[in-house]
A = this chain, B = another copy of it.
């Protein structure tokens, strides 16, 4: 299945976070619906554009989360959903209320693996596996997924699910 193609400039920015900022402003975004293919001849030597968008988002998200998490309000809309450890929150205010109320002062995320896919509705789906350290607590595993959607020429996070990896290990 092939999505409509539009002329796009090459995306050659090497820093994922700057790439996220650039991509989030692109008015037209489209890609072939292919997991493995390259979306645009201009970026033939680059990763597929949805992978660039996903990686840029992931770097941006955790950098903001670890340094100034109230800035994350920019990535959500009033229709966004967050499920945090099984508890649901909706909308920018609901989500930011939860994120800002998390009971630690400092946190550091470390990404172990991230996977990105294009969806049939021209979104980008990202799954992240990693570790986090909050205040003086022990390091914990976590996994998180995001659905990124282009709305009004801006990439936003429409869906966000977070779980600590406390309970999925055998003995």
Contacts and interface: CB of A to CB of B under 8 A. Distances in A.
Interface of A: 1, 33-36, 78-79, 81-83, 86, 88-90, 112-113, 115, 117-121, 123, 125, 127, 129-131, 133, 138-143, 145, 147, 149, 158-159, 161, 163, 165, 167-171
A161 to B, nearest CB: 5
Contacts of A143: 127, 129, 143, 163, 165, 168
A140 B169 CA distance: 6
A interface: dominant SS: strand
Given A117-B159, A127-B145, A143-B163, 14 more contacts: A1-B78, A36-B89, A112-B167, A113-B168, A115-B163, A119-B159, A120-B149, A125-B159, A125-B161, A129-B168, A131-B170, A139-B169, A139-B171, A140-B170
How many copies of this chain does one complex carry?
A: 2
Nearest to A129: B168
A117 B86 contact: no
A89 B35 CA distance: 7
